[in-house]
Amino acid sequence: MATENPFNSILKTLENPEGGVFGKYYSLPALNDPRIERLPYSIRILLESAIRNCDEFAVKAKDVEKIIDWENTAPKLVEIPFKPARVLLQDFTGVPAVVDLACMRDAMNRLGGDSNKINPLVPVDLVIDHSVQVDVAKTENAVQANMELEFKRNRERFGFLKWGSSAFHNMLVVPPGSGIVHQVNLEYLGRVVFNTNGLLYPDSVVGTDSHTTMIDGLGVAGWGVGGIEAEAAMLGQPMSMVLPGVVGFKLVGKLRNGVTATDLVLTVTQMLRKHGVVGKFVEFYGEGMGELSLADRATIANMSPEYGATMGFFPVDHVTLQYLKLTGRKDETISMIESYLRANKMFVDYSEPQVERVYSSHIELNLSDVGPCISGPKRPHDRVPLKEMKADWHACLDNRVGFKGFAIPKEAQVKVAEFNFHGSPAQLRHGDVVIAAITSCTNTSNPSVMLGAALVAKKACELGLEVKPWIKTSLAPGSGVVTKYLAKSGLQKYLNQLGFNIVGYGCTTCIGNSGDIDESVASAITENDIVAAAVLSGNRNFEGRVHPLTRANYLASPPLVVAYALAGTVDIDFESEPIGVGKDGKKVFFRDIWPTSEEVAEVVNSNVLPDMFRATYQAITEGNATWNLLSVPEGTLYSWDPTSTYIHEPPYFKDMSMSPPGPHGVKNAYCLLNFGDSITTDHISPAGSIHKDSPAAKYLLERGVNRRDFNSYGSRRGNDEIMARGTFANIRIVNKLLKGEVGPKTIHIPSGEKLSVFDAAMRYKSEGQDTIILAGAEYGSGSSRDWAAKGPMLLGVKAVIAKSFERIHRSNLVGMGIIPLCFKAGEDADSLGLTGHERFTIDLPSNVGEIRPGQDVAVVTDTGKSFSCILRFDTEVELAYFDHGGILQYVIRNLIHSKH
């Protein structure tokens, strides 16, 4: 078990130049190892964490050596443990995390332990950024109207999280209406350097949203993880990760006049997708860094998932410190941050000679080569230079159906759909814009593009341009600060005049919460098979995501969103064709409404002020009227409502005793599902709407819930009964037991009946039968969804035998007590002649001390076939979790024992 930290000899004291000391810190220079000077800054953060947390059990000295020797070890794909400084949750994933904490308290209480010991061991920031459906758009009171609807839909979830904010220590809950999680993290929650009881260390964060990476722009190492990983980190457990390669991205030069940060990020996204950075860190450096504001950096970092990197990291420099001052951080805090990072060789000072760092590969961009562009019509990295847009659009109409094609016959490309809009005649053509949204995630942290959009609106209004009334326009800032500087500048009125009223502060159009478009417009699109367009300033534009009726979706800067709304179509050459006709009857061109970089900078400098950030985030601690009126139960133990269809106590700790159950083999198990390759967590985990004929729908109907109130699986993540019924309920799942039929069914082997996966699993459980899953390569790839492991555990699955696992999903299975096994190289279920109709016995020693990570295990079937598999418990810590029946049980027993 844990021992004293072997690196305590390098603990140093950091003096405060104003007098006194800031605290102690683990000094990287004190190791006197020349390899550290050559490490990328992002790897130094992993190194410091490993040194500080080294206990020779969860984190070992040999793990520290792997990181120091990164140049040689990273190409070998070695695994290391990582303990982040804090955890970031948003409400959809925050609810099940708080449910699990509440359950752990109940279990500890039953076992006679001090239930109040169950608290996050690292700081947890939970932001309720409540996905705002844009039900109400073009009106001055849109924010309030949409907020009231959100509270009506989500009152129970919000109330539960409000209870959690007072019941648990070390957990900050940011109320709804404050902003989107990533921007609140950037402007308010990011510490950059922690000072905990006099110990200084770098801020690092894992979050339950893929765009947690936005914080990398602030020099804070952060990325997205699944719920189980986040919970493990909350409870002080290490995350297992592959020591990543680091791509060095050199920036030189300066952006040209009129080119925006969004143009830059779309260019970077295309370049990195082409280079190949999946699973890697990208670290930005070079003399061009001084030309990028912190907001520009955050815009690039936000889109890490779109270019495939784990992080897009910008080390801390003077620009970072200026932003901390702008956003209202205290002078003493900023001084401490700079002093610590300089002392520990984690600060970049571009006025000094730069030591050449080693990178896995290099890429370079001259900022002056970036031009205005958008991306689409279906993927974030399909960048189109603005001057080529009209030609590209016509090519998309011609091309066969695909990422860059709609296969519209030539004769149909000029079709005009006539319709009646609220009593007035109207027309729609292919490429006409029906949704134009300045959305909250990527760009609204950036004052230059937000005020740039407002300047476009001002120039357009003064020239007499208007947006067609059937285009659904909206503005969803990422934080209340945006509202303040738009108001101070006097420019919000011009956005309002064009229909870009503020609709809310949360996920909107980018995640599909665009709300309905007018019925007459919807009918014109569907009846005439029109390829309608959406233009949004978000980060994802996959087909079907933004709105079911917009087949063409383009990512663009906020100023370009306004320009395309004014033009009313993406079928336009902005260089040669007018956007519209002004009030004097003259044609108005793109160049007439586009602001210069100097105009934008002047408005930004005079209107974005530190007091705005201070006032906005002071209000967070005070909540808002609707939040403050929510009544919640008192006490540290939650009063579960057995009739609730949103919040339910899961059976994870049913019959739990003080003694670990020990390792369990599997005896005569049936195969619940037999899969091929590339089964993703989207296939496994409940997601999206609840199908009317599904087991989850049946459960809700039996409890008096109307079909219109089903809501989504996401909103019901706090109810295990719903989530278990939605596991493997994906309508496109392919199960070999069904012999070619697609859908969420399986064969109950003893009876031969075809049943829903949930019903078959429950029959096996009621008969006392174990089940396993057979799978091919890359089982569990995709987003790291916690319910992809929780769901199978609740269905009674004891083991998964696959050709290979996605890394995070394998660790999530371990965390829920499910045995992951890999077929030997060159073997799989088909080559071994397995049909899935066999019964499987997996023989494991009953003493955890006799099991080794990665050992061979025999699997025997009732048909006489036997084969050898590799046991994919990869570390001693994972074996300890298995001994206890799962990670949560391990934590409870450790906390109870720690009091003696």
Segment 376-419, tens digit of pLDDT = 998 888 999 999 999 999 999 999 998 899 999 999 999 999 99
The reported pLDDT for the residue numbered 851 is 93
Assess whether pLDDT exceeds 90 at residue 347. Answer: yes
Can you tell me whether residue 414 is helix, strand or coil? coil
Q: How far is CA 634 from the centre of its chain?
A: 32
- Type of residue numbered 42: S
Averaged pLDDT for residues 232-239: 90
Q: Which two tokens stand for residue 371?
A: 């031009």
Which token pair is 541?
A: 């534009």
Please compute the mean of the pLDDT values over residues 199-220 and round it to a whole number.
94
- Residue length, the chain? 900
Average pLDDT over residues 472-485: 90
Residue 74 has pLDDT above 60, yes or no: yes
* Listed range (305-319, 499-513, 769-783) with the worst mean pLDDT: 499-513
- Chain-centroid distance, C-alpha 417: 39
pLDDT at 188: 93
Comparison of pLDDT for 877 and 322, the residue scoring more: 322
Task: With CA atoms as reference, report the closest residue to 24 among 16, 35, 32.
Answer: 16
Q: What number of CA atoms fall less than 13 Å from residue 894's CA on the CB side?
A: 17
Banded model confidence at residue 841, pLDDT cuts 50, 70, 90:
very high
Q: Which helix (H) or strand (E) holds 35?
A: helix 34-37
The average pLDDT across 699-710 equals 92
Contacts 24+ apart (CB under 8 A), 409-414: 412/529
Query: What residues does 366 pair with on adjacent strands?
Result: 252
Pairing mode of beta strands 839-842, 856-861 = antiparallel
Helix, strand, coil % over all residues of the chain, rounded to 5 = 40, 20, 40
Query: What mean pLDDT is predicted for residues 363-378?
Result: 96
Q: Can you give the pLDDT at residue 806? A: 83
Non-local (6+) Cβ contacts of 834 within 8 A are 674, 774, 861, 865
Does the pLDDT at position 899 exceed 60?
no
Position with higher pLDDT, 458 vs 630: 458
**200 SS3 class:** strand
Q: Which amino acid is it at 246?
A: V
pLDDT tens digits, one per residue of 881-895: 999 999 999 999 988
Q: What pLDDT does 511 receive?
A: 67
Q: Return d(Cα 810, Cα 819) in angstroms, integer.
A: 9
Q: How far apart are CA 619 and CA 598, in angstroms?
A: 33
Position 900 pLDDT exceeds 50: no
Residues 6+ apart with CB under 8 A from 640: 647, 648, 649
Q: Distance between CA atoms of 611 and 613, rounded to whole angstroms?
A: 5
Task: For residues 336-354, give the mean pLDDT.
Answer: 94
Please report the pLDDT score of residue 129 as a whole number: 72
Can you tell me the mean pLDDT for 770-799? Answer: 91
pLDDT for the residue 152: 78
CB atoms within 10 A of CB 639: 10
> Is the per-residue pLDDT at 42 higher than 50?
yes
Cα gap 508→443, rounded to integer Å: 13
Per-residue pLDDT, averaged over 803-807, amounts to 87
- Compute the average pLDDT of residues 139-168: 82
Cα 531 vs. chain centroid, distance in angstroms?
Answer: 30
CB 382 within 8 A of CB 486: no
Query: What's the mean pLDDT in 284-307?
Result: 93
Q: What is the pTM of this model?
A: 0.86
The answer, yes or no, to whether residue 118 has pLDDT greater than 50, is yes
Task: Answer whether residue 548 shows pLDDT above 50.
Answer: yes
Amino acid, single-letter form, for residue 827: E
Mean pLDDT of 116-140: 79
C-alpha to C-alpha distances, 724 to 265, 699, 756, 791, nearest whole angstrom: 39, 11, 12, 5
H-run or E-run covering 820: strand 819-823
pLDDT at 619 exceeding the cut of 80: no
- Sheet of 433-438, strand order: 383-385, 373-375, 552-555, 533-536, 433-438, 472-475
User: Which of 686, 671, 672, 679 has its CA nearest to residue 806?
Assistant: 679
Q: What is the mean pLDDT of residues 747-751?
A: 97
Give the pLDDT of residue 897: 82
pLDDT grade for 131, boundaries at 50, 70 and 90: low
pLDDT band for 543, please (50, 70, 90 cuts): confident
